[in-house]
Structure 1
Amino acid sequence: MTDTFKTFESFDGQRLAWREMGEGRPVVLIHGYFSDAQTNWIKYGTAEKLVAAGFRVIMPDLRAHGDSARPHDPAAYPSDALAQDAEALIAHLGLTDYDLGGYSLGARTTVRVLARGIAPKPRRVVLSGLGDEGVTDTGRRTGFFRSVLTGFGSFVRGDREFMSQAFLKTTGGDPEALLGILDTFVDTPPEAVAMLDVPVLIVAGAEDDEVGSFIGLAEMLPDARFVEVPGNHMSAVTRPELGDAIVTFLTA
């Protein structure tokens, strides 16, 4: 099944890309850091499962990722830039009745869209690969990612940065542009998370210990359920169980 590739102009004029598959109820899915729509949602079959269930799957490439603009100017990375990009895409497509979700950084971006309250509120929300610390303490892992990006190419097997470096090589990422993304992060305090009154699925790998507690995040939210799938933070997104859980939640 092929996807349609399109671009739009975001809030600050940056040209960003998105991919679409299927027809039906819109669901916007945002990929994780160092990844892209193709790798996160299409390659391992999640998008195809949603299409089969009757969804129009809309998958942006975040700025500095995939086929979207990769500016090196620090001015292109203001606070909450990724949430503003998502809001711009939702407005560009005229979405009002839709579902929204993401993986890791994409899930955090989803939380920021909800907390900002600018875009129309989605019917249901999927937060995959995101725990409580990934929402409330976004700076906790920025040092690690800064190390990966500034030392890109120098890490060898056994270094803690090696797997992230290897993944970035497979996606063809631009280390300088991706450094700018770190400056866009905004914490969402627990009291703001508690105000997000939409049904939420939290789905994550059983061995994922990189983004805090998934149950802790579920307990912050007024209407959330947690589903565990096999894998760790990097491998859970490749598992068919992830797509199955998302489809089950969105079609219930």
Structure 2
Amino acid sequence: MNDAVLNRWTTSDGVELAYYEVGEGRPVILLHGLFSSAQMNWIKFGHADRIASEGLRVIMPDLRAHGESGKPHDPAKYSADILVRDLKELIAHLKLERFDLGGFSLGARTTIDAVSSGVQPERAILSGTGVKVLTNWDRRSSFFLEAIDRFDQARRGDPYWLSIQFMRTMKVDRVAAALLLKALGDHPSPEQALAAFTMPTLVVCGSEDHDNGSAREFASALPNARYEEIPGTHMSSVTKPDLGEKIAEFLAAV
């Protein structure tokens, strides 16, 4: 099917952001991972179409500094809560009252931040992440900032090589990406954030994805979660049809 429609809107600080939609029915918002986009995470490999086939309206923003969204180079456009603020404004822009919410990697972290700050989805999906998602950001952001600094020097075999190649593929705006990375940090109250997930929650992660610790332990730490394992690493699991299938099954069943 792959007939997702691109839409644009403007935030309260004047940045134009993009989001894609496919399907009709109960809304579900899906947030992509770092350096990625809605097209890469949700549309290209058929996940959005599979989820929409369950009678759902799939809404997929391109996060600030990503994809078709604005990539300002002004540090003032990157507060610590900027991704959650953009999400809340999109929800208001679309006049959504009842919806599901989820994300992959950075999208999962943003989902956690949003729920802990008062956003109340009926169901949540946390994919491509594990038990260290709230305490691992400073370390991982330092790694990615170093990758940006070494963008033109890294060679095959370098620990930054794969991340840099993905940035090249995605045509990442390195200035904007660095500003966003520097703005976000470890969560100040991890236990409080996890306790906010009283809604049915799916934790789905690749069998070889340990970038943010154990996903199984993560699901056990949440009040109302189930864990599903799919094939793949942090980078390859999004290419597997299993990701869209598990999300679709979860949203259709509850």
* Alpha-carbon separation, structure 2, partners of 1:98 and 1:195: 16
**CA root-mean-square deviation:** 1.1
Q: 1:138 offset after TM fit, Å?
A: 1.9
Q: Map of 1:60-209 to 2, 5 A cutoff?
A: 60-117=61-118, 119=119, 121-186=120-185, 187=187, 188-209=189-210
Q: 1:174 offset after TM fit, Å?
A: 0.6
Q: 1:140 offset after TM fit, Å?
A: 2.1
Identity of matched residues, %: 47
CA contact (8 A) 2:141 2:182 kept: no
Aligned to 1:35: 36
Aligned to 1:234: 235
Give the match's secondary structure for 1:136.
Answer: coil
Q: 1:158 offset after TM fit, Å?
A: 0.6
CA contact (8 A) 1:102 1:109 kept: yes
CA contact (8 A) 1:123 1:199 kept: yes
CA contact (8 A) 2:20 2:38 kept: yes
Q: 1:216 offset after TM fit, Å?
A: 2.3
Q: 1:11 offset after TM fit, Å?
A: 3.3
Q: 1:24 offset after TM fit, Å?
A: 1.0
Aligned to 1:16: 17
* Alpha-carbon separation, structure 2, partners of 1:195 and 1:125: 11
Aligned to 1:223: 224
* Alpha-carbon separation, structure 2, partners of 1:53 and 1:196: 24
Give the match's secondary structure for 2:199.
Answer: coil
Give the match's secondary structure for 1:139.
Answer: helix
CA contact (8 A) 2:230 2:237 kept: yes
Please list every run of 5 or more consecutive structure 1 residues that lacks an aligned counterpart in the other structure: none
CA contact (8 A) 1:78 1:183 kept: no
Q: 1:54 offset after TM fit, Å?
A: 1.0
Query: Aligned AA for 2:139?
Result: R
CA contact (8 A) 1:136 1:190 kept: no
CA contact (8 A) 1:82 1:184 kept: no
Moved more, 161-170 or 192-201: 192-201
* Alpha-carbon separation, structure 2, partners of 1:191 and 1:88: 24
TM-score if structure 1 supplies the norm length?
0.96
Give the match's secondary structure for 2:139.
Answer: coil
* Alpha-carbon separation, structure 1, partners of 2:81 and 2:214: 23
* Alpha-carbon separation, structure 2, partners of 1:71 and 1:98: 29
Q: 1:243 offset after TM fit, Å?
A: 0.7
Q: 1:13 offset after TM fit, Å?
A: 1.9
Q: 1:6 offset after TM fit, Å?
A: 0.8
Aligned residues: 250
